[in-house]
A and B are shown apart, each in its own frame.
Chain A
Amino acid sequence: MFKKELPTVPKSKLKSSVQRSLRQSLLTTYPLLNRYIDEILPKKGSLEAMKLPDRYTLYVLDSQPLFFQIDTDTLLPHLKLVHRFPAGFPSIRIDRGAIRFVLSGATLMAPGLTSAGGRLPSGAGGDEGMDEEERWTRELEKGEPVVVRAEGKMEACAVGLLVEGTKEVKEKGKGPVIEEAHYLGDGLWKLSTD
């Protein structure tokens, strides 16, 4: 969704009521961020918005990109936020072979996740998080936001919305899983937020 370079746009300060409601909806979407929220959005901090093409808005604090959304749809974390707080976001893992496709903006397909190097959730339940096998403990639903990690890499490489639940991905083993992701090196990644 950010295949092209984005224009530099001005930042505008958000009213504190808007900041409060964004904070709330961030916590609703990502309950695991609860313990980090004061670090992500300090009480005295001033959140700013950048209006991007195609009805996207990027939210920035002290020049650090935090999250973005289309209109008022689901808030998605900027990858730099994911890198700061990886434990705050449900994730899946692609195998090494799929990395270069994802980084060129291709749709993430099921085989990159069902192969030996890929990791889909275990669905085992219990405390939500990642198990020793690097599988998320909860199955993720269609439409949920998800972070994409990569085999052999420490840092996440993409984030997007699931167009298929993880359980269905395992069952079918084919078809698109995430479309229109934000990925390392895309226009959003390169956008200057200074």
Chain B
Amino acid sequence: MVDTEQTDAPSEPQGRHVTYCGVCTLPPEYCEYGGTVKKCQDWLQKAHRPLYDRIWSPEALEAATASLSVEAQKRAAKDAQKKAAQAEKAEQKQADRMANSVITIKRVERNKRKFVTAVSGLEAFGLDLKKVAKEFGKKFATGSSVTKVPSGGEEIVVQGDVSDEIEEFLLEKYKDIPEDNIELVDDKKKKGAAAG
């Protein structure tokens, strides 16, 4: 790590780089306090083997429990169990929600042969709309922003007709989204309607 005995005005960067858990986002030594310990362990074992060995070695685990009284250990174990059950329930709920949610990619004709593509329903899959809008903008080199819809929610509006590309991009990047849960819609302007 960092040598704290350095003199003033160091020329080398002094900031430490800490690895955070790819599952629960905490420093991995704190994964035991979340409800996703098993997943965290799997991730760490794959991503940072030495760190995994240090944190989850039998010696480290023994040291961890040795300093707690039997009573406290029991309470901690019960607490961990409860947390795991809660996390599992939340996960199941999210899985159900995702299974029953649909992402709509709608091609909207703004003017004659001028299109925008509106994408809604992403939040059910745990996606941050702003972030995804940025990704779209970058990927398709076009304008892309989050806008409110009259019904109360939000959607991403991308300039141009990129429906197919967006579907492909979503399926490629976010593996949690089943293909069946994406629908493509074409919102054609009626002839003679005013351009909006």
Contact B10 A35 (CB under 8 A): yes
Question: What are the residues of chain A within 8 A of B4 when measuring CB–CB?
Answer: 87, 129
Closest to A80 in B: B18
Size category of the A interface is 20 to 34
Task: Report the Cα distance A97→B76, complex, angstroms.
Answer: 8
Checking A40, A153, A185, A194 against B25 with a beta-carbon cut-off of 8 angstroms, the contacting residue is A185
* Cβ contact within 8 Å between A103 and B33: yes
In whole angstroms, how far apart are the Cα atoms of A154 and B64 in the complex? 13
A4 to chain B, nearest CB (A): 15
A95 to B30, CA, bound (A): 14
- Does B8 contact A151, Cβ atoms closer than 8 Å? no
| Interface membership of A1, Cβ < 8 A | no
Q: Which of B1-30 contact A (CB under 8 A)?
A: 2, 4, 6, 8-10, 13-18, 24-27, 29-30
A23 within 8 A of B: no
Given known contacts A8-B130, A84-B18, A192-B128, A152 and B27 CB-to-CB distance under 8 angstroms: no
Judged by a CB distance under 8 angstroms, whether B47 is at the interface is no
Query: Which residues of chain B come closer than 8 Å to A190, judged between CB atoms?
Result: 25
Which residues of A are at the interface with B, using a C-beta cutoff of 8 A? 8, 34-36, 39-40, 80, 83-87, 95-97, 99-100, 103, 116-117, 129, 151-155, 157, 184-185, 189-190, 192, 194
